[in-house]
Amino acid sequence: MDSQKIKIDPEKCIGCGSCAAIADQTFEMGDDDKVHVIDPPGDDEATIKSAADCCAMQAIELGE
């Protein structure tokens, strides 16, 4: 999956780290306590989708 298709809403992200625990080749915590997308993302699409689904804040938006 292209990193451009993975959007994090920094207003919603609470920095819980759940997405990074599931897809650790795609999401990493920044010094600002928000998650950032690693470019290029290293996880397969299903793993990235699982990570996005697990976000309680729905801060991760996946494009087509």
Chain residues that interact with ligand SF4, rule: CB under 6 A: 8, 13-19, 35, 55, 57, 59-60
Q: Whole-angstrom Cα distance, residue 31 to residue 52?
A: 21
Query: Is the Cβ of residue 40 or residue 55 nearer to ligand SF4 in the bound state?
Result: 55
Minimum CB–partner distance for residue 31 and ligand SF4 (Å): 14
> What does residue 15 show for φ and ψ, rounded to 5 degrees?
70, 35
Closest approach of Cβ 24 to ligand SF4, in Å? 11
Q: How far is the CB of 64 from ligand SF4 (least distance, A)?
A: 20
Contact (CB, 8 A) for 12 and 64: no
Q: What is the rounded CA–CA span in Å between residue 12 and residue 17?
A: 13
